[in-house]
Amino acid sequence: MEPNLSQYIQNQLKQAQQIEAQIEQIATQKYQLDLRIKELDKTLKELANIGQETPVYKSVGNILYRVEDRKKLIDDLSEQKELSEIRIKTLEKQQKTLEDKYRELESLIQQKYQEETKRRGSSQ
């Protein structure tokens, strides 16, 4: 028994749409991480440019508190930046994999659609 190609194509189209949505989600996450990295960069540059005597405050929720250990703060911010950069690289790999899978699926859908069209044309 030959599978219903129309149903097969519809399923493949749904899968392609799901992959497309995942690619969009990854792009959004990458954008948010990129903004975070830029914010951390700006903060680290400001911390490097102000004098040691200038008080520094850290925001936690709605509370600001004075930071006594500036080096620890800089180390923490640098680590956050590094982790965000690693996460972006991971997301880029995931995005590439999904894009490759999407292209393969797109090609398969076109092939199956052409086969179905030919089959319908020859059966008439």
Q: What is the pLDDT of residues 18-39, one digit of tens each?
A: 999 999 999 999 999 999 999 9
Quote the CA–CA distance of 54 and 37 in Å, as a whole number.
24
Collapsing DSSP to helix, strand or coil, 58 comes out as: strand
Dihedral, CA atoms, 111, 115, 117, 122, nearest 10 degrees? Answer: 160
Please state, in angstroms and as integers, the Cα–Cα distance from residue 20 to each residue in 6, 16, 33, 58, 98, following that order.
21, 6, 20, 39, 8
Question: What would the pLDDT profile of 66-85 be if each residue is shown by its tens digit?
Answer: 999 999 999 999 999 999 99
Cite the DSSP H helix spans in the chain. 5-49, 70-123
Least-confidence region, from 6-15, 36-45, 52-61, 112-121: 112-121
Bridge partners (DSSP) listed for residue 57: 66
Average pLDDT over the chain reads 92
- pLDDT for residue 15 is more than 80: yes
Q: Which two tokens stand for residue 61?
A: 């929720």
- Quick one: average pLDDT of 105-122? 85
Domains of the chain, each with CATH number or no CATH = 5-118 (1.10.287.370)
**Threshold 0.85, pTM exceeds:** no
What is the token pair recorded at 15? 């899968």
Which is more confidently placed, 3 or 76? Answer: 76
